[in-house]
């Protein structure tokens, strides 16, 4: 089966899984709760979920036969993260999958016993999810996409490489996410050495995003950086469109932003984290404990450049940057 067809199949069936499993599963079937950060119709969210479900399938888990998967979609809403976490735990799952730091935090507040596996946390030690990378020590472990907040400083360095005239940068962050604040602090710490003025911008809704970008873009030599957060994903189409309209160079944390028309990104492969999370959930369902499963950090970071967007912004991408890119979109 082609990858695109598989994603479509899994995405279309996602909403029906709980009902189908309820009707078909034997009593001994195991139960997994999944709290996703996007809306149910978000293509990137469906791609990640498909990778997770495929990972389970490859390890012998089949919905309707030996496992039930209950899925909730938070759509970047802080209240939904909290309420969905409580709802999922009320279903008495054997283990839960947390798609982001916010999902992890919501589960952490609601349980200290149910195993939690994250597939997108940023610096899980700094956020208090685990005692250490090697020895998580509690009921939480998983795969991180930003192992340490300090990696976020790379985005500012990348901005100066691809748009050296930029002297002021707006960093879009989710004020409800601790991870987003940590990423901003790392960027801020690097700013002075690069001669850049950094300004934090909160993301609450589309109106705020549009107004903030328009106001910031009114001054010359400006650029944007997005931190990893549910709000960044929820508003990515709008932010990419506004960056193009106001001719603002923008650096993004993951490839999906550049594939959707953004300028440049530097980050790990988020989909790989979901495949990895499936292996950890499989091991937990077979008797291992989260405390004994070390947190897995990404071993490869991808630099992706959109040359079409660079040309539209009047930017000439340095040949050294092109040579080091993992992918160039034309």
- Asked if residue 20 has pLDDT above 50, the reply is no
Q: Are 36 and 70 in the same domain?
A: yes
pLDDT at 17: 47
pLDDT at 15: 44
DSSP letters spanning 270-329: HHHHHHHHHHHHHHHHTT--GGGSPPBPPS--EEEEEHHHHHHTT----HHHHHH-SEEE
Q: Are 208 and 124 in the same domain?
A: no
Q: Are 139 and 230 in the same domain?
A: no
> Residue 42 has which token pair?
């978000």
Q: Are 98 and 170 in the same domain?
A: no
Is residue 297 one of the residues assigned to a domain? no
- Residue 126 belongs to what domain range? 3-146+270-292
Query: From CA 83, how far away is CA 247, in angstroms rounded?
Result: 39
CATH number at residue 44: 3.40.50.2300
199-212 per-position pLDDT tens digit:
998 877 788 889 98
149-179 per-position pLDDT tens digit:
888 899 999 999 999 999 999 998 877 667 7
pLDDT at 181: 79
Q: Are 208 and 111 in the same domain?
A: no
pTM above 0.95, yes or no: no
Q: Are 14 and 115 in the same domain?
A: yes
**Cα 306–Cα 312–Cα 315 angle in degrees, nearest 5:** 75
268-311 per-position pLDDT tens digit:
999 999 999 999 999 999 999 999 999 999 988 999 999 999 99
- Domains: count for the chain: 2
Q: Are 62 and 193 in the same domain?
A: no
- Asked if residue 3 has pLDDT above 50, the reply is no
Q: Are 124 and 188 in the same domain?
A: no
Q: Are 288 and 190 in the same domain?
A: no
Is residue 252 one of the residues assigned to a domain? yes
Give all strands (DSSP E) within 155-285, no chain letters.
Answer: 168-173, 197-202, 222-226, 250-252, 264-267
Q: Are 124 and 231 in the same domain?
A: no
- Asked if residue 314 has pLDDT above 60, the reply is yes
Q: Choose between 176 and 39: higher pLDDT.
A: 39
Q: Are 317 and 225 in the same domain?
A: yes
Q: Are 193 and 156 in the same domain?
A: yes
Whole-number CA gyration radius for the chain: 20
Is residue 324 one of the residues assigned to a domain? yes
- Asked if residue 37 has pLDDT above 90, the reply is yes
Query: What is the edge-to-edge ordering of all strands in the sheet holding 30-36?
Result: 67-73, 30-36, 95-98, 116-122, 140-146
Q: Find out whether 99 and 37 touch, Cβ atoms under 8 Å.
A: yes
Is residue 134 one of the residues assigned to a domain? yes
């Amino acid at each position: 089966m082609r990858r695109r067809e598989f994603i479509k199949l899994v995405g279309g069936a996602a909403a029906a899984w709980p009902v189908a499993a309820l009707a078909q599963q034997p009593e001994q079937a195991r139960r997994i709760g999944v709290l996703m950060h996007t809306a149910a119709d978000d293509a990137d969210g469906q791609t990640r979920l498909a990778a997770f479900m495929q990972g389970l399938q490859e390890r012998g888990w089949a919905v309707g036969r030996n496992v039930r998967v209950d899925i909730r979609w938070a759509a970047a809403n802080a209240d939904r993260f909290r309420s969905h976490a409580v709802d999922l735990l009320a279903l008495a799952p054997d283990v839960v999958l947390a798609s982001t730091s916010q999902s992890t935090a919501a589960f952490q507040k609601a349980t200290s016993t149910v195993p939690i596996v994250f597939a997108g946390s940023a610096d899980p030690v700094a956020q208090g999810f685990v005692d250490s990378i090697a020895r998580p020590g509690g009921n939480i472990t998983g795969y991180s996409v930003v192992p340490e907040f300090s990696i976020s400083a790379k985005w500012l360095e990348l901005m100066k490489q691809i748009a050296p005239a930029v002297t002021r940068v707006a960093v879009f962050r989710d004020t409800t996410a601790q991870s987003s604040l940590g990423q901003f602090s790392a960027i801020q710490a690097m700013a002075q050495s690069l001669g850049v003025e950094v300004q934090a911008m909160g993301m609450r809704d589309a109106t705020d995003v549009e107004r903030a970008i328009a106001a910031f873009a009114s001054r010359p030599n400006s650029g944007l950086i997005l931190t990893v957060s549910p709000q960044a994903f929820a508003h990515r189409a709008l932010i990419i469109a506004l960056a193009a309209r106001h001719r603002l160079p923008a650096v993004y944390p993951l490839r999906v932003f550049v594939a959707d028309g953004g300028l440049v990104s530097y980050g790990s492969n988020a989909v790989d984290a979901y495949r990895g999370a499936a292996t950890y959930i499989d091991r937990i369902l077979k008797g291992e404990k989260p405390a004994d499963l070390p947190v897995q950090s990404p071993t490869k970071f991808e630099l992706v450049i959109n040359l079409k967007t660079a040309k539209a912004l009047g930017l000439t991408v340095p040949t050294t940057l092109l040579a080091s890119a993992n992918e160039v979109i034309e």
